Chains A and B, each alone.
Chain A
């Protein structure tokens, strides 16, 4: 347990960013039209910490949508060092659900085999987590055990309390940074205020998933009629998986220039909702129906991932619900699998 903590007045946030930027590149949530996105912060003022969620999750920082595996020219190949800068960076203002997603991604890319591309990016980032101060319509992190507070996976945890941020260190690196900031000491009242905030938030969730026995339930519900029913509605657009903070699948492609000697092999996010995803030689396809592909996405999140990595893949961020053009709701499917009658609450 790292005990270092301190208080930062809200109006000093741009100063903090300025200070951090002397040593780090800083990535955080910025306004993008009516939505938010994680972008590199040039000026502290761009940062918008009062955000619900972002369009794309922060996985793009560690495993970019398109990433070069290596470049080649004739028979010589680039190295990781050529490809991926190891400059120091900070992922700033990351909500607890997204912090939890990093733990899942780590198991995918650093578990069975370590991918040096992912590791190099991951290691280059410090995580400044941000305790949630509001609960969006689609949030269900509470039931997934990933929010609205954050207990691990951060270097620094920030919690907005009335006029100030409570900053807490989670690693020696985080302690070093807090020490360098000349912060006002936090009191027991501040920690109490944080607890009160979290307790208040816990009462505001409109969505939840009963996770107890859910992996087993999904395994035994492969023939449940709801897959057909939702398969009829699903557009198979794949936005749910693209916006999912723990979806990790990728396709590998080659690209050559006109000389046919020089080019690169790259990976690019791929999603199981697309028909081509499961296609093999001679056109064979193991998931030709939309219902099967939707089932793969939902069950990977609520079941298979748990067997693969001993933690639920779904972190309850609600992005897939927000983005689905036909309002397919993973929490509702989880409930229907339990054959609970759905009674729409009249608002």
Chain B
């Protein structure tokens, strides 16, 4: 019988610095067969584990098409992430997954796709961006709104130029404030201030939203005000999790387990649920 609590050894292939405290780690399972058969849906997550230290959940941030490795983008905030930040290429790591439902890729096919994210919320929908790039004809307009506190906290900034050049694609960036001496040619203000210049309309579109709960709350409210329907808004939730398989109980919101029924929810399914600030 398969043990869902088993973690599998993987190797760190590459560490890419995104910001002062956030890196992207490219990983590969040591077992070739496991690596070959590892497939995921954009928005799903993995558990990274270190015996003796602990484990935590992270979005997969690489392309679903890549089969020889996968990556995850991690901000240093606690014990497990500090351990991860001490890793170098060649180091050992334990991984299991993927977990969760992921973004509704089939449902958004043929539609305009609006991605609104903040801070380290971008890794979750990033595989969606890859997917649309790789299957460009299957989707309508792609519009990405990304906000961070300062310009220095933007992740994947080395990709923005490519995103800009993708056909039928718009990338809009914003920061809460610009520290003195820093150059910034984009918007200043919270991410919802970008909505005034929105290209995508409520007609035949879907919005994928991922960021701090308060940011998702205001984004959803703004979109509803602009005529979007609750059914076309999707949010990815963060909760404390220990198992990824609806057993530890920590991630429950009303009748849902975020790890199993989420992390992506249609807004209309979670609106008004207890202990959910969206």
- Chain A positions within 8 Å of B, measured between CB atoms, are 69-70, 72, 75, 77, 80, 108-109, 112-117, 119, 219, 222, 248-254, 256, 260-261, 263, 265, 267, 270, 272, 277-282, 286-287, 292, 295-296, 299-300, 303-304, 307-308
Residue of B nearest to A251 (CB): B242
A286–B260 Cα distance when bound, in Å, is 18
Instruction: Determine if B255 and A250 form an interchain contact, defined as CB atoms under 8 angstroms apart.
Output: no
Instruction: Determine if A119 and B1 form an interchain contact, defined as CB atoms under 8 angstroms apart.
Output: yes
* Interface size counted on chain B using CB atoms at 8 A: 38
Instruction: Determine if B242 and A115 form an interchain contact, defined as CB atoms under 8 angstroms apart.
Output: no
Q: Tell me if B66 is interfacial: C-beta within 8 Å of chain A.
A: no
Residue of B nearest to A80 (CB): B3
Q: Tell me if B18 is interfacial: C-beta within 8 Å of chain A.
A: no
A108–B246 Cα distance when bound, in Å, is 8
A69–B47 Cα distance when bound, in Å, is 15
Contact of B1 among A70, A77, A114 (CB under 8 A): A114
Contact of B248 among A114, A249, A265, A280 (CB under 8 A): A249
Q: Chain B residues with Cβ under 8 A from A114's Cβ?
A: 1-2, 4
A299–B273 Cα distance when bound, in Å, is 12
Q: Tell me if B182 is interfacial: C-beta within 8 Å of chain A.
A: no
Instruction: Determine if A278 and B240 form an interchain contact, defined as CB atoms under 8 angstroms apart.
Output: yes
Q: Chain A residues with Cβ under 8 A from B255's Cβ?
A: 219, 303-304, 307-308
A252–B81 Cα distance when bound, in Å, is 16
Instruction: Determine if B243 and A252 form an interchain contact, defined as CB atoms under 8 angstroms apart.
Output: yes
Q: Tell me if B250 is interfacial: C-beta within 8 Å of chain A.
A: yes
Residue of A nearest to B51 (CB): A72
- Chosen A-B contacts, 28 in total, with CB atoms closer than 8 Å, are A69-B5, A70-B5, A72-B51, A108-B247, A112-B247, A114-B4, A115-B4, A219-B254, A219-B255, A222-B272, A249-B249, A250-B248, A252-B242, A252-B243, A254-B51, A263-B51, A267-B242, A277-B240, A278-B250, A279-B240, A280-B239, A282-B77, A282-B78, A286-B275, A286-B276, A296-B252, A304-B252, A307-B254
Q: Tell me if B178 is interfacial: C-beta within 8 Å of chain A.
A: no
Q: A112-B247, A113-B245, A263-B51 are in contact. List 16 more A-B contacts (CB 8 A).
A: A72-B51, A75-B9, A108-B246, A113-B4, A113-B246, A113-B247, A114-B4, A222-B274, A249-B250, A272-B249, A278-B275, A286-B239, A295-B274, A299-B254, A300-B252, A304-B255
Task: Find the residue from B249, B253, B260 having the highest chain A CB count within 10 A.
Answer: B249
Q: Name A's interface SS.
A: mixed
Contact of B53 among A112, A254, A303 (CB under 8 A): A254
A63–B5 Cα distance when bound, in Å, is 15
Tell me the smallest distance from the CB of B96 to a CB of chain A, in Å. Answer: 11
Interface pairs A-B: 9 shortest CB-CB: A249-B249, A307-B255, A113-B245, A256-B52, A72-B51, A252-B242, A281-B77, A113-B4, A304-B255
Q: Chain A residues with Cβ under 8 A from B253's Cβ?
A: 286
Instruction: Determine if B247 and A109 form an interchain contact, defined as CB atoms under 8 angstroms apart.
Output: yes
Q: Chain B residues with Cβ under 8 A from A219's Cβ?
A: 254-255
Contact of B92 among A75, A77, A295, A303 (CB under 8 A): A75
Q: Mark B228-242, 1 if CB is under 8 A from A, else 0.
A: 000000000011101
Q: Name B's interface SS.
A: loop
Contact of B52 among A116, A260, A299 (CB under 8 A): A260
Residue of B nearest to A281 (CB): B77
A61–B217 Cα distance when bound, in Å, is 43
Q: Chain A residues with Cβ under 8 A from B248's Cβ?
A: 249-252, 267, 270
Q: Tell me if B257 is interfacial: C-beta within 8 Å of chain A.
A: yes
Instruction: Determine if A277 and B51 form an interchain contact, defined as CB atoms under 8 angstroms apart.
Output: no
Q: Tell me if B55 is interfacial: C-beta within 8 Å of chain A.
A: yes
Residue of A nearest to B276 (CB): A286
A248–B84 Cα distance when bound, in Å, is 30
Q: Tell me if B54 is interfacial: C-beta within 8 Å of chain A.
A: yes
A72–B255 Cα distance when bound, in Å, is 35
Tell me the smallest distance from the CB of B23 to a CB of chain A, in Å. Answer: 16
Task: Find the residue from B2, B3, B51, B253 having the highest chain A CB count within 10 A.
Answer: B51
Q: A115-B4, A278-B240 are in contact. Are A296 and B257 (CB under 8 A)?
A: no
A250–B257 Cα distance when bound, in Å, is 14
Residue of A nearest to B253 (CB): A286
Q: Chain A residues with Cβ under 8 A from B77's Cβ?
A: 281-282
Tell me the smallest distance from the CB of B157 to a CB of chain A, in Å. Answer: 23
Residue of A nearest to B257 (CB): A308
Q: Chain B residues with Cβ under 8 A from A251's Cβ?
A: 242, 248, 250
Q: Which of B263-278 contact A (CB under 8 A)?
A: 272-277
Instruction: Determine if B3 and A292 form an interchain contact, defined as CB atoms under 8 angstroms apart.
Output: no
Residue of A nearest to B237 (CB): A286
Residue of B nearest to A287 (CB): B275
Residue of B nearest to A307 (CB): B255
Q: Chain B residues with Cβ under 8 A from A80's Cβ?
A: 3
A222–B273 Cα distance when bound, in Å, is 8
Instruction: Determine if A280 and B240 form an interchain contact, defined as CB atoms under 8 angstroms apart.
Output: yes
A296–B256 Cα distance when bound, in Å, is 12
Instruction: Determine if A250 and B275 form an interchain contact, defined as CB atoms under 8 angstroms apart.
Output: no
Q: Chain A residues with Cβ under 8 A from B92's Cβ?
A: 75
Task: Find the residue from A114, A265, A267 having the highest chain B CB count within 10 A.
Answer: A265
Instruction: Determine if B274 and A296 form an interchain contact, defined as CB atoms under 8 angstroms apart.
Output: yes
Q: Chain A residues with Cβ under 8 A from B276's Cβ?
A: 286
Instruction: Determine if A304 and B247 form an interchain contact, defined as CB atoms under 8 angstroms apart.
Output: no
Residue of A nearest to B49 (CB): A265
Tell me the smallest distance from the CB of A289 to a CB of chain B, in Å. Answer: 9
